[in-house]
Structure 1
């Protein structure tokens, strides 16, 4: 595999303004109740499980629970 030198990314004022405008549009569309609830959860420092759940919801990941205990994994070498 060929490696190339890292590319330098620069954050410009136009990029920041565009991000802020899109974020405000999304907050308006989502409704004030959801925005306030999300802001309150972030401000309160929600526990690790709910933060993980929020991330999973945002990226669309739905983890499947593992079946059984250690006995179910005996033949698969997944201890």
Structure 2
């Protein structure tokens, strides 16, 4: 294995500004999302609010990992091809 000298990384002012703008944007989105969840939870009963909170959490995770679930086709025909019993 060949070894090489460490590469020097320089942090530029443009990089810092870009990081700060992205961070502020993400924080504002998070705050808007939390405000929307609080408003929705205040209108619905507690049991329904817990279900919607779980669903939104699941949706957030799916969005974060890039998973886009497709609706499953229902019925026996979907499970057994074209055969019907």
TM-score, length of structure 1 as denominator length: 0.37
**What is the CA RMSD across the aligned residues, in angstroms?**
8.3
How far is 1:46 from its partner? 28
The verdict on how the C-alpha distance between 1:2 and 1:60 changes in structure 2, with shifts beyond 3 A counting, is farther
Structure 1 distance, partners of 2:78, 2:53, is 31
- The structure with the largest alpha-carbon Rg is 2
1:17-49, Cα deviation, whole Å (9 max, x unpaired)? 0000000000011xxx99999999999999999
> 2:40, 2:49 within 8 Å by CA — same for their partners in 1?
no
Structure 1 distance, partners of 2:19, 2:47, is 22
5+ residue gaps in structure 1?
Answer: none
Number of residue pairs the alignment of both structures matches: 76
The verdict on how the C-alpha distance between 1:70 and 1:44 changes in structure 2, with shifts beyond 3 A counting, is closer
5+ residue gaps in structure 2?
Answer: 30-35
